[in-house]
Each structure stands twice: as C-alpha cells, then as structure tokens.
Structure 1
Amino acid sequence: MRTMQFRTELNIPPAAAPISLGQGFLTLGSCFAEVIGQQLLQNKATVLVNPFGTVFNPLSCHAHLKRIITQDTKELEQGLVERQGQWFHYDFHSSFTASQPDVLLLYLEEAIKDAHNCLQHTQHLLLTWGTAFVYERQDTGHPVSNCHKVPQKQFTKRLLTVPEIQEDLEDTLNLLQTHFPGIHVILTVSPVRHLKDTLPLNSVSKSTLRVAAHFMQEQNKGVSYFPAYELLLDDLRDYRFYSADLLHPSEMAETYIWQKFVATYLDAEFQQFIQEWQQVKQDLNHRPFAPASPSHQIFLQKLEAKLHHLSLRIDVTQELAQVRGQLTSR
C-alpha cells in the first residue's frame, strides 16, 4: 500500500560551491535577511546583518548596495528629513537619527564606511526582497526605504515592474563584480505577508518579485535563489507556522527554513561545527544549583577546554571570559 503524504516537502539541491565557516556574509533587505543573518551570527559566522536597517523594496536594497560598494555620499544630504526636532534619512532605518543634520550625516557616513570594509572580506551576499511596491517622493521622484511617518500625501505608491527590477539589479551586480569580483549572491523573496497592500495585491507583489528573481538566477551564474517564500507557503502551508499576527513565520518555521538553508549552502564541516556549537551553547546556558560544587567546577573546566579548542577556528573570547569568571580557582 502506498504511504499517504500529508504535505509536499520542498527538497532543495545542495549548492554547487558550499560555504565554509571562515567565509564572510553580508545580508541586506527585509526582516527575513535579519532572521538568517542572526542565525549565522549565533553560529559564529562572519556576517554583517542589515547594516542600514530593514529594507523592503528592491530598488532601495540595490541603492544601499551601490552606496556600500562606492562609498559615494555626495547626495546623502538630499535624503534628510526633520520630524519633531529629530533628523532622519529616507534611505535608512529610523534607528539612524540625530538632533542635528550634520551629526546624522557623520553617523551615516561611518555606517557606510564600516559596511564597505566588511564587503572587502565578504564572499556571500544574501539579498532579500520583501515587496514590489515602492513609495516615491513627490518632490524628487526618488524611492524611499522608510517614510518616517511623514504624511502619505507626500509620496506616490506604485508597483514596480519585473523589467525595472531586473535592470536595476543587473546594474548593481555589474558594479559589484567590477569592485568585488567573485562574490556570490543568494537571492530570496521574503515569506512575510504585507496585508496593508491587501491579500490580492500582496500576491501580485510577491509574484512580481518571484518572476524577477527567476530571470536573474537564470541569467547570472553568480546568483542563486533560495526558496524561503515557497518553504513557508507551499511546504509548511499551515497557519500554525505563523506567529500571532498571521503575517510573520513562527519561531518553528524560522528554524525549519534555517535548517533548509544550512543543508543547501553550508559545507559538511560547517554543519558539523553548528552541531558542536549548539551543545556548547547549552553548556554555557546551564545554571547549576551549587556553582561552587566540585562537580560543577569540573564541568566548567571541561567547557573551558572545549572553548579553547574551538578558539583555533572562531572567536570565543566572550565565552571564555564567561566560563573563567565562574571558576573558583581563578
């Protein structure tokens, strides 16, 4: 008798060039770029996560990448906006703010410089598109990443087309390869739903992004597509895998998608390290009833030895300090 199937599991072929532990990452885009980036950080990868904050539309993502590559800040001042005595920038997250415009510009220039320095040691870029809808300033026609609660009448909302997304990314990739040849781009479409656009228009938006991503993957050897969107909507396909807002993936879903990412892109040694590190993290989080007891002190000594061994591959300075601070003989 044939076994009944109650879900359609998405099996993803492994990447042609698996990623090793020592290789660097840069993530840019929607909150899904944040999720994967934080998972990489927690597993000791070298990664810079969304250095300018969450970005949802492709044009703003690409503009950030171009700015990181070239460090061009000549037109940065044009995006400044003041609200209730604080200054913000239309291209950056609201966490980038200052009471004076000159101070904010220095803050932004430093963030761009830091991201550029990171890119010099990066082999992989995770680029996540969230929506094909873009808000453009009526005074300049420039698309913004963040409206900063400025009245909506000052913007025009429109749906990007597949050709303009492709053309803009193609220009960005050409610039990237000119300055940083060999960087591999992992392109994803965020599975987070944008109900403010309505469900029908959210489907139109995601479809636009998915078609553009398909063509970019087909036409560029240095681009691969990771199906985060399909994993949630077609593989898991159930509201129990959403958080309480019914928009974002639940923690369980995020873990599942992360495991698929690991199996797809990370090499065997990196995957083995993640298993070892998860055990070490459990040991670090252990809270004993009797910290000074001989048995716990022996436990700490063994944990210190594990960390010392791992220090040959990763930075465990903070973890070693944590353990050594609990050893009564130190």
Structure 2
Amino acid sequence: MERVSLPMMSDFRTVLHLPPLPGKIGIQDSVFTIGSCFADNLGKKLTDNKFSVAVNPFGTSYNPVSIHKQLIYAIANGRPSAETYGELNDTYFNFDFHSSFSTLNRQSLEKSISNTIEKQHSFLKSAKVMMITYGTAWIYERNENSEIVSNCHKVPGSAFKKSLLTQKKILESFETLHKQLTEFNPDLRIILTLSPVRHIKDTLELNAVSKAVLRLTCHTLSELHQNVSYFPAFEIVMDDLRDYRFYDRDLLHPSQEAIDYIWKKFRESYLDQSANSFIDQWEPISKALQHKPFQPESIAHQKFLKQTLAQLENLKGVANVNREIQQIKQQLIN
C-alpha cells in the first residue's frame, strides 16, 4: 500500500509515495497495454523511451468484461463470431472492437481484426508485463442476445440495455482470463490501473459509483494474485495533484503535465535502475533528434550529428536504436 505524506503547515497538498514494484520492469521487457484511453498515455511514454510495447492494439475499451474478452481472443488466437459483426450506414463494425477497425467492406474488417489478433497472440506469448486500465463499470448489453459490447458504434440506444457491472461479475470474468493467461504465459506480470478520466455522461454521482466498483475490484485482485499489482494513477490525480490545473480543457482528461507527473511516479517505483539510467541518457538524444537545422550542411550541425551518432552507438546494445542511427547517417555528408 502506498504511503501518504501528511501535510505540515507549510505544505499545500498530500503526496503519494509508492512502494517499489517487486521485480521491476527492465528496458528489454516487452509491455502490453490495454483498456481506456489512459492506457494509450502510459503506452506512449514507454514507446517514446524505446520499450517494446503493444499499445492498446484493439483500440480504446472501457469496461472490464470487454477488455478481458479481447485478451482471450489474443491468447486463444480466436476469431469473433458472426453475431458480433454489424452494419450501419454502409459501414461494417464489430461490437467487440473499436470503431477504428470499421470499414466499408466486411471482409476487410474481418481480415484486419484477424491480423491484429494473430499479431498480439505472438506478442503476448513473450511479454513480461501487461497493463490493464479500467475506465468504467457501466456496460451496454445488446437486447437481442444480452452480449456486452465494447463499443456501440452509434447504433441507436434502443438496441441496448445499460447497467452497472457488479464486482462479482468482474471478478468472475478476470478469473477466467487469469487462468488462461497463466497457462499461456506463466511469467507475465499484470499491473491494474484505474483511469482518472471522468465519465460525466453517466453523471458525476454515477461516475463515482462506477469508479468505486472498479477500485474495489482492483484491490481484491491484487490481494488474490501474486502476479497482479495496482498502480494508483487514479489516486495520483485525485488525491495528490487534486487540482483542475492538472486537467485538460475539457476538465475530464488529465493534462499533459499530469501525465508527465504520473509517468515520473511510475518510473520511480516500477522501472529498474538500468531502465531509468537508459531513459536519462535517451531523453536528451531524443530531443536532439527532433532538432530541425536551418543549415543542415554546416560544420556545426555536422559535428552535432556525429556526436549524436556516437551517443546512439553507445546505446545500441541496450535498446533498439537502429532507426535513429540510420536517420543520422542519412544526414551526414561524409
């Protein structure tokens, strides 16, 4: 459990101090992220820092049951049933997947989903860490078959029944997933997070109820399973930062500043020393690579390129920087 600094008279906020994760994440550990849009935020941070990451490959999904179902597709290398497909306004979609998969041709849709599942089946087999971010406990069930959908795809609301998942239902769903994951990849560690994004379409009161169900579930699962832990992104925003300054203009999503702070906390407690050392070396190089010179052939810029290339060569054995090395070499005159 994280420790909280009690405020002194000169303090104006409470700060969460996270305990270190047993078996911290290394720079060469592959990471799979899935769930709400907050999974994209953490996934992008890891990707930007040269980790091998599958970032929310099935698209944004918010409720636990749908997230678990997508993962089971990947583990089993399975395919969605015909009943999960639909069509509206000449666009074909699948109720178990995000609208980014939707196409004007059903065969293209099926192929895209199939290719994604197959690719993630291979990735998950050797992944070291899975980060699952739950967004809401509110679900939509299709009236015709009572199946929970991941995405409504703008189908009229009359086709669905909205309800709140119980903790029991989520736990049962997770246990089915966990059993298959453990058999498929025994070394996989699971980190649960609760998205700090507020779902006000459910009203603030019912959003709080939803988050409470999810938070209690995360706690229960981390107590039940040795390979499951909880990263308190939700508490960092709500109880540590606790200010609208750290929200985006919509007042619902964390700002970039908040995401950077969460990443800092994640680095401190969840990444090992070698990973943090690499990131410290990589960040200035990454910024240098984004530099757009006015005079690319100047002596000064060519010297800068050679220095950057030497730094990249030193990191080659730690992470895959081949693309960046090629990028620099293409700019060198001789």
Query: Shift in Å at residue 42 of structure 1?
Result: 0.4
For 1:317 and 1:4, locate their aligned partners in 2 and report how far apart those are by CA, in whole Å. 49
Query: Is 1:10 equivalent to 2:16 in the alignment?
Result: yes
Q: CA deviation at 1:3?
A: 4.9
1:71 to 66, 77, 80: 77
Structure 1 residue 190 corresponds to structure 2 residue 214: no
Corresponding residue to 1:30 among 26, 29, 36: 36
For residues 77-156 of structure 1, the aligned pairs below 5 Å read 77-156=82-161
Percent identity between matched residues is 43
The normalised TM-score by structure 2 is: 0.96
Segment of structure 1 superposing worse, 125-134 or 92-101: 92-101
8 Å Cα contact 2:126-2:185 kept in structure 1: no
Q: Which amino acid aligns with 1:76?
A: S
Match of 1:223 in 2: 228
Aligned match of 2:322: 317
Give the gaps of 5 or more residues in structure 1: none
- Residue 31 of structure 2 corresponds to residue 21 of structure 1: no
Unaligned runs of 5+ in 2: 1-7
Describe the superposition over 1:159-218 as per-residue Cα deviations: whole angstroms up to 9, x where unpaired: 001111111111111111011112100001100000000000000000000001111111
Superposition map of 1:31-46 within 5 A = 31-46=37-52
For 1:134 and 1:97, the matched residues in 2 are separated by 21
- Residues 125 and 184 of structure 2 are in contact (CA less than 8 Å); yes or no, is this contact kept in structure 1? no
Amino acid corresponding to residue 277 of structure 2 in structure 1: Q
Partner of 1:234 in structure 2? Answer: 239
Question: Helix, strand or coil for the counterpart of 2:171?
Answer: helix
Answer yes or no: is 1:172 the counterpart of 2:177: yes
Residues in 2 aligned to 1:179 and 1:199: alpha-carbon distance in whole angstroms: 39
Matched residues in 2 for 1:175 and 1:70: separation?
9
Deviation at 1:287, TM superposition (A): 2.6
Q: Summarize deviations over 1:219-255 as a string: whole Å, max 9, x none.
A: 1111000000000000000000000000000000000
The residue type paired with residue 287 of structure 2 is Q
Out of 283, 305, 309, the residue aligned to residue 304 of structure 1 is: 309
Tell me the CA shift for residue 99 of structure 1. 2.2
In structure 1, the residue matched to 2:266 is 261
- Specify the alignment match of 2:333 in structure 1: 328
Cα RMSD after superposing both structures:
1.1
Q: Return the letter of the residue paired with 2:43.
A: G
